[in-house]
Chains A and B, each alone.
Chain A
Amino acid sequence: MSRNAPADDTLVRIRGLKFYRGTRAIFNGVDIDIPRGSVTAIMGPSGTGKTTLLKLIGGQLAPDAGTIEVDGQSVHALSKPDLYRLRMRMGMLFQTGALLTDLSVFENVAYPLREHTRLNDSMIRKLVLIKLEAVGLRGAHGLMPNELSGGMARRVALARAIALDPMMIMYDEPFTGQDPISMGVLVQLIRRLNDAARITSVVVSHDVAEASEIADLIYVISDGRVIESGSPQALREKGGEWTRQFMGGLPDGPVPFHFPAPELEGDLFGDPA
């Protein structure tokens, strides 16, 4: 599809996605639609390939089969310059923040502006301070990344991700390892940025409560396929047994508490051999 194709309500369209690591199928025929302007959460247990999915959407990995379209462009059919042009309209918040450790907070946020625009220093300064103000860290612009807490580093990375005013932001496990206050700040920031700047947000997470709080739509993936999708409330109320166990954090269910083992009595009182 051309870049000027008419915009529809789906910003990211994934069809028949297959991706293997060696012989292990990470995705085995996944279809996902991410609506424009929404917060869409991709949820599932650890190791189901949620981060891999973001890398596939961003073109850092190539699928073995299937297509991924972002804003009407087939990501993996693009030339490198076109892919880089598309990435300039996509932001990504990495789990670690991925800040450049030899640059200050200010220079990290200024980095994409210096690389991709010809704005003068005065304009860059104003833009950087506005972006840092949006994440509540204008006062920390002179700090180095090693002087930041984990939550602050993610907020700086978020300011950097929105520096070029992207159409979408992908969040890779934004809530992992955060204290309740940092987590609350991030939850609020993701929703607020999404609504204020009309960004499309894709949040990959296994933190059910936080992701459900801000998501308009949830996709639950496991064993290489989409198990269920819908609004948080619908999934909690009408989801299948597996989804309700996952959403409710229940210790036993389709995913058993016990690792498969022989009968307890036999193991305790039977022949040890």
Chain B
Amino acid sequence: MEWLAQLGRSGLSFSAGLGRANLLMLAMLRGVPQLLRRPRLLVEQLLSVGVLTVLIIAVSGTFVGMVLALQGYYILSRFGAEATLGVMVAASLVRELGPVVTALLFAGRAGSALSAEIGLMKATEQLSGLEMMAVNPEHRVLTPRLIAGIISMPLLAGMFSVLGVYGGWFVGVGLLGVDEGTYWAQMQSQIDWDADVLNGVIKSVVFGVVCTWIAIFQGYDCIPTSEGVSRATTRTVVHSSLAVLGLDFVLTALMFN
């Protein structure tokens, strides 16, 4: 019976955590009007959450595109279909790899940093200090980070896909001899704006909400000790990655039947 009790405790704890996360999300959303009056707070966070993540996204996007072109050319050339290399690279990136890999990298780079920063602010009583200065930490500290994450993710995913396409062009056209006109023309004719690009953008916005929400909640809800912050940071990366992969399957099934 002990395992049943343990299962029940875990279930209750999970439900309570989910409830706290939802309440936190509502509290952060209530801070949006205040953020609109003070856009400087958002700009600061766009720099730290978005701009500082650009390098890893740019490098990863370029190399993923290059590898896709190499692998794609190897398979497609067996069937004499190397002319469709551009479509394969672009579709893979825009539909799947752009949003998913960007979200995984975002969780590792920006998500973990968010959790650690907020957790340490809690551990060093900075959040309590704000409360005692009559400043709502949820609105002042958390809301700008949430909105910055939601705005940054689709932009980063877009950058990942564009640089991936150019990485594929460099390998396919530059090194393997695929015709340049065919590479771009096939892509232009086969990639659909709504079915491919827009769905990819929707995915990245959903991943942006989920990854930033998890990161902020883990930091805000952590035990305010060095071990607690460390665990929160780890949980952010693990939970975000699992959520992104699970949601990607659901969204793909819904979007592409």
Contact = CB atoms under 8 A, between A and B. Distances in A.
B136 interface: yes
Interface stretch (B66-74, B78-86, B125-133): B125-133
Contact of A98 (B126, B134, B136, B140): B126
Contacts of B128: 55, 60, 94, 98
Nearest to A170: B132
Interface string A219-240: 0000000000000000000000
B129 A94 contact: yes
A112 B133 CA distance: 7
A101 interface: yes
A121 interface: no
Interface stretch (A38-46, A84-92, A135-143, A254-262): A84-92
B125 A94 contact: yes
B185 interface: no
B15 interface: no
B135 interface: yes
A201 to B, nearest CB: 15
Interface residues of B, number: 12
A186 to B, nearest CB: 18
B77 interface: no
Interface in A100-121: 100-101, 111-112, 115-116
Interface string B176-199: 000000000000000000000000
B124 interface: yes
A60 B134 contact: no
B129 A85 contact: no
B133 A111 contact: yes
Interface string B126-161: 101101111110001000000000000000000000
A171 to B, nearest CB: 12
A226 to B, nearest CB: 24
A90 B128 CA distance: 13
* Most chain B beta carbons < 10 A, residue from A84, A90, A98: A98
Interface in A141-161: 157, 160
A101 B134 contact: no
A96 interface: yes
Contacts of A157: 129
A49 interface: no
A92 B134 contact: no
A92 B126 contact: no
B136 A60 contact: no
Nearest to B140: A115
Nearest to B125: A98
Contacts of B132: 58, 60, 87, 90-92, 94
A101 B124 contact: yes
Given A98-B124, A101-B124, A92 B129 contact: yes
Contact of B124 (A60, A96, A115): A96
A72 B196 CA distance: 63
Contacts of A101: 124, 126
A94 B124 CA distance: 9
B134 A100 contact: no
Interface in B203-247: none
A111 B141 CA distance: 13
Contact of B134 (A87, A95, A96, A99): A87
A78 B126 CA distance: 23
B131 A60 contact: yes
The 3 closest A-B pairs by CB, nearest first: A98-B129, A98-B125, A84-B134
Given A100-B126, A111-B135, 18 more contacts: A58-B131, A58-B132, A60-B132, A84-B134, A87-B133, A88-B133, A88-B134, A92-B132, A94-B129, A94-B132, A95-B125, A96-B125, A98-B125, A98-B129, A99-B126, A101-B126, A112-B134, A115-B140
20 contacts: A58-B131, A60-B131, A85-B134, A88-B133, A90-B132, A92-B132, A94-B125, A96-B124, A96-B125, A98-B124, A98-B125, A98-B128, A99-B129, A100-B126, A100-B129, A101-B124, A115-B135, A115-B140, A116-B134, A160-B133
Interface of B: 124-126, 128-129, 131-136, 140
